[in-house]
Amino acid sequence: MLKNNPIPTFEGPVCPRPLNHTEQIVMGHGSGGKMTQDLIRRIFQPHLQSEPLLAGNDFASLSLLAEAGLQGTLSVSTDSHIVTPLFFPGGDIGSLAVCGTVNDVSMSGAVPLFLTASFILEEGLPVETLEKVVASMEAAAREANVQFVAGDTKVAEKGKVDGVYITTTGIGWTPAGVEIGGEKARPGDVVLVSGTMGDHGIAVLGARGELGFETGVQSDIAPLNGMIRELLKAAPGVHVLRDPTRGGLATTLNEIAAQSKVGIWLDEESVPVLPGVQAACEMLGFDPLYVANEGKLIVIVPEDQAEAALQAMRQHPYGKNAAQIGRVQAEAPGRVLLKTLIGGTRILDVLAGEMLPRIC
Amino acid sequence: MLKNNPIPTFEGPVCPRPLNHTEQIVMGHGSGGKMTQDLIRRIFQPHLQSEPLLAGNDFASLSLLAEAGLQGTLSVSTDSHIVTPLFFPGGDIGSLAVCGTVNDVSMSGAVPLFLTASFILEEGLPVETLEKVVASMEAAAREANVQFVAGDTKVAEKGKVDGVYITTTGIGWTPAGVEIGGEKARPGDVVLVSGTMGDHGIAVLGARGELGFETGVQSDIAPLNGMIRELLKAAPGVHVLRDPTRGGLATTLNEIAAQSKVGIWLDEESVPVLPGVQAACEMLGFDPLYVANEGKLIVIVPEDQAEAALQAMRQHPYGKNAAQIGRVQAEAPGRVLLKTLIGGTRILDVLAGEMLPRIC
């Protein structure tokens, strides 16, 4: 019941701990990491379970039409966006709300078609601000070639909500024969990323004035469905697509390793990171592999199509820094291992709590 | 871009007023009434327009499958829920979030199948409270026979959000041949409601302790798809189904009158209202016809099927107080007129601003 989630990341059956009656929600429950998974397993899964949720992808594949003889499935995804500040270098909550959901739907290989948007507004929000956000949604939806088909607006008292929260739900269509999912990585596959890691998280943090210096880093927010279309033409055998958002590359690869029951081995030096992101992370004690992206793609593909996949991404404006960063192996199933710059190997675990709250 | 909305309620083309740069969002923008419509027309419509949105229903009908030769359409609806308090007599934010969206999807005559749920939680929320809400969602979804297929969780700092906000999106399937919509009311049709008006709004207000007395009124929250199924078996020629939520019966009928370009004439004395609701409204200076419902149905049906429709509803637990309350006429197109108890006629207009904030 959650992004990046109902995943068998932990051994053994789902066995909810009894509730501790003094326990409270903390920011880390929204991190997309271990605490989020714990909340899902204990609170959401026992009540709101279904086969598509158990599959553990960021999208649900709905084959409601099989009985009608139609070949293909619906792909559905939803996301609430509570980023603060509303505007930051490279994007805003509007472009984030559209691109985040378009991208999640696209990770099934689906063509995103429709969006719903539901707004919770803060009393006192300048209408001009709202219009800027909505205009940004329009531009992103136009680029992604998706249509808004339903919406809702609520208003909460001043002080609740930081200006505006937006929840988007996306609906796409996956033609028959496309089989892409986090459980399909196989030993021997190659791991690619479409560009530099951590740009979005650092751009938002910079916009909050929390860094104390200028990074010049822009968020990478972008709708990825166009690049995915080109990618799948060049490399139709792709096994896994996923966007490393909350929790970053490390957390997302852990989810895939767990779903596919494989080990994922990364070369640290091959992971592209902008100098500004690297510098900010060093100042703050962050690891860029855990910092969120909003316009990047992880691709896991059989070796014989890896080069074609890489070239297809590099020819697209959103993939010009695409790189091969690792391999899938049978050893260490469920684990992500990093060959470090100094020649060692360390386990890259799931993000535990919250590193950067309110970035999406 | 909004419930109950992109409706040609006003004459002339959509012509957004220029933005006033000091203008701010006020609670009335979330009322579902005139201010909401104004916001939609000026801010959302210019940017987020589409054919399904222009149809002005609470659901979008998506015929993405026509090209594939499939007979029927998807029906999609979304709603954010920010009710305070979270728990009130007869329901809570969880049952509200499920039933509200199930009902909106059902108003097309669709069979609701899938739900997504996205949670924005307040830091410090007792996990026990969250579990109560989620368990209530489970119960409502089971009754409505819908499946949760995707979800998301975000956490905002303490003081933001009142415990939990929930956005649900529903997806249903409308078989070919079912043609129900707010634009289909015809002169001569009969107007029915499935029960008493205003229960939900007064129950929530009572739970806030704002009445100063006990009404004993319970919210009418209920999934209506089961009753609608029986209704459509008995009266397959139904023209309009709609649930009178925010803005109440009066606002909802105005939307239909505008969509269908007909006059709707009501008999005040035939509108069922509980004594506790009537008493509370008199104390507060409210009109129960403008108070929200969450488990009631407006049915507009050709006269020859009206009695069958009424009986089908009365045989269902959620429709035992169903009543005929008025007629559709060619006169006064776009207007709702009320024959009052004292024999006069008054115009029932759309709710202008906000009467009862945060009730859904």
Which of A227, A230, A237 has its CA nearest to residue A306?
A: A237
Alpha-carbon distance A77 to B51, whole Å?
A: 22
For residues A20 and B207, the model is more confident at B207
- The answer to whether the CB atoms of B43 and A131 lie below 8 A apart is yes
Structural domain contains residue A123: yes
Q: Do B229 and B169 belong to one domain?
A: no
Select from A154, A164, A165 the residue whose CB has the most chain B CBs within 10 Å, as the one to mutate to test that interface.
Answer: A154
Q: Which of B65, B81, B149 comes nearest A50 by C-beta? A: B149
CB contacts of A161 in chain B (<8 Å) are: 160-161
User: What 3-state class would DSSP assign to B67?
Assistant: helix
Higher pLDDT residue, B263 or B76? B263
Nearest Cβ partner for B126 among A23, A29, A358 = A23
Domain-embedded: residue A269: yes
Tens digit of pLDDT for each residue in B125-145?
988 899 899 999 999 999 999
Give yes or no: residues A155 and A203 share one domain: no
Average pLDDT, chain A: 86
**A200 lies in the same domain as A342:** yes
CB within 8 Å: B53 and A148: yes
Instruction: Return the top range by mean pLDDT from A313-327, B43-57, B110-124.
Output: A313-327
In the block, tokens 């009130």 appear at: B88
Contacts of B29 (CB under 8 A, 6+ apart): A121, A153, A155, B35, B36, B39
End-to-end CA distance of chain B: 17
Query: Per-residue confidence at B8, pLDDT binned at 50, 70, 90?
Result: very low
| ipTM of the complex, rounded to two decimals | 0.88
Q: Is the peptide bond before B288 cis (omega within 30 degrees of 0)?
A: no
Q: Looking at the complex, report in whole angstroms how far the Cα of residue A78 sits from the nearest Cα belonging to chain B.
A: 6
**How far is B224 from B108, CA to CA, in rounded Å?**
12
Q: Say if CB B37 and CB B258 are below 8 A apart.
A: no
- State how far residue B90 is from chain A, nearest Cα, in angstroms: 20
The answer to whether the CB atoms of A118 and B39 lie below 8 A apart is: no
Contact B2 A162 (CB under 8 A): no
* CATH of residue A43: 3.30.1330.10
Q: Is residue B360 part of a domain?
A: no
> Which of A148, A162, A167 has the CB atom closest to B50's CB atom?
A148
Q: What is the pLDDT of residue B88?
A: 96
Quick one: A330 and A197 in the same domain? yes
Chain A CB contacts of B78 below 8 Å = 116-118, 150-152, 167, 169
Kindly state the average pLDDT of the residues B211-237.
94
Per the model's pLDDT, the better-predicted residue between B35 and A164 turns out to be: A164
pLDDT at A173 (0 to 100): 85
C-beta separation of B9 from B45 below 8 A: no
Work out how many domains chain B is built from and give that number. 2
pTM (two decimals): 0.88
Residue A98 tokens, joined: 């559209």
Q: Which residue has the higher pLDDT, A114 or A296?
A: A296
- What distance in Å separates residue A80's CA from the closest CA in chain B? 6
**A352 assigned to some structural domain:** no
> Do A29 and B153 lie within an 8 Å CB cutoff?
yes
> Higher-confidence residue: B58 or A121?
A121
Distance between B120 CA and the closest CA of chain A, angstroms: 7
The residue among B152, B175, B198 that closes a domain is: B175
- Residues with Cβ within 8 Å of A316's Cβ and at least 6 positions away in sequence, in order, are A226, A227, A230, A231
From A126, A147, A175, the end of a domain falls on A175
SS3 of B300-330: the string is: EECHHHHHHHHHHHHCCHHHCCCEEEEEEEC
> Residue B323: which pLDDT band, with cuts at 50, 70 and 90?
very high
Residue A70 with chain B: CB contacts under 8 Å: 65, 68-70
The whole-number pLDDT of residue A26 equals: 81
Please say if the pLDDT value at position B66 is more than 80.
Answer: no
CATH code of residue B227: 3.90.650.10
Residue A21: per-residue pLDDT: 53
Residue B115 has pLDDT above 60, yes or no: yes
Confidence of residue B16 (pLDDT cuts 50, 70, 90): very low
Query: Which pLDDT value is given to residue B1?
Result: 34
Residues A169 and A195 in one domain: no
pLDDT at position A175, please?
79
For residues B40 and A108, what is the distance between their CA atoms, to the nearest angstrom?
33
Between chains, do A155 and B30 touch, taking CB under 8 Å as contact? yes
Counting one residue from A and one from B, how many pairs have CB atoms under 8 Å apart?
304
* Closest Cα in chain A, distance from residue B320 (Å): 30
Both A194 and A110 in one domain: the answer is no
More confident residue, B199 or B57: B199
Same domain, A91 and A210: no
**Beta carbons of A86 and A126 less than 8 angstroms apart:** no
- Residue B285 half-sphere exposure, CB side, CA atoms within 13 Å? 1
Between residues A154 and A194, which one has the greater pLDDT? A194
Helix, strand, coil percentages (3-state) for chain B, rounded to 5, are 30, 25, 45
The answer to whether residue B306 is domain-embedded is: yes
Q: How far apart are CA A251 and CA A7, in angstroms?
A: 12
Same domain, B165 and B297: no
Q: Do B62 and A156 touch (CB under 8 A)?
A: no
Strand B87-88 relative to strand B91-92, pairing = antiparallel
Q: In 3D, which of A91, A4, A38 has the Cα closest to residue A359?
A: A91
**C-beta atoms of A154 and B81 within 8 A:** yes
A104-113, A271-280, B56-65, B183-192: the lowest-pLDDT one: B56-65
**What residues make up the domain containing B152?**
27-175
> Both A203 and A327 in a single domain?
yes
pLDDT of A8 > 80? The answer is: no
Of B78, B135, B155, the CB nearest to A116: B78
Report whether pLDDT(B319) > 90.
yes
Does some domain include residue A125?
A: yes
Give the tokens for residue A346.
């360390």
How large is the average pLDDT for residues B74-95? 94
Q: What are phi and psi of A177, to 5 degrees?
A: 100, -20
Does A10 fall in a domain? Answer: no
Q: Which two tokens stand for residue B14?
A: 């959509």
Last residue of a domain, one of A126, A141, A175: A175
Query: Among A59, A62, A87, A80, which Cα is nearest to A72's?
Result: A62
> Which residues have C-beta within 8 Å of that of residue A193, sequence separation ≥ 6?
A244, A249, A271, A272, A296, A297, A298, A299, A322, A323, A325
Percent of chain B with pLDDT over 90: 62
Give yes or no for residue A167 having a pLDDT over 90.
yes
Confidence bin at B22 (pLDDT 50/70/90): low
**Integer distance in angstroms from the first to the last C-alpha of chain A?**
17
Q: Which of B24, B121, B167 sits opposite A124 (nearest CB)?
A: B24
Instruction: Identify the pLDDT of residue B15.
Output: 37
What three-state secondary structure class fits A312?
helix
Rounded mean pLDDT, A208-235: 93
CA-CA distances (angstroms) from residue A286 to A208, A292, A350, A353?
17, 12, 14, 13
Say if residue B149 is in the same domain as residue B259: no
Average pLDDT over residues A126-153: 90
**Rounded Cα–Cα distance for residues A250 and A35 (Å):** 15
Reported for A52-56, long-range contacts at CB under 8 A and 24+ positions apart, including other chains, are A52/A76, A52/B147, A52/B149, A52/B150, A53/A1, A53/A6, A53/B148, A53/B149, A53/B150, A53/B151, A54/A6, A55/A6, A55/A181, A55/A183, A56/A5, A56/A6, A56/A7, A56/A8, A56/A182, A56/A183, A56/A255, A56/A259
Q: Are residues B226 and B86 in the same domain?
A: no
For residue B98, the surrounding DSSP H or E stretch is helix B93-106
**∠A105-A110-A113 over CA atoms, to 5°?**
70
- The minimal CB distance from A162 to the residues B36, B128, B160 is found for B160
Give the per-residue pLDDT at A22. 66
Instruction: Chain A: give the shortest CA distance to residue B280, in Å.
Output: 24
Q: Average pLDDT of B320-333?
A: 97
Please, what is the average pLDDT of chain B? 86
pLDDT of residue A11 exceeding 50? no
Q: Shortest CA distance to A247 belongs to which of A234, A238, A237, A256?
A: A256
pLDDT in tens, B252-307: 999 999 999 999 999 999 999 999 999 999 998 899 999 999 999 999 999 999 99
% residues pLDDT > 90 (chain A): 61
Q: In this complex, which of A27, A36, A125 lies closest to B25 when CB atoms are compared?
A: A125
The residue among A343 and B28 whose pLDDT is bigger is A343
B249 shares its domain with B334? yes
Model pLDDT, residue A214: 84
Q: Give a yes or no: residue A360 inside a domain.
A: no
User: Of all residues in chain B, what percent carry a pLDDT higher than 70?
Assistant: 86
One-letter identity of residue A165: Y
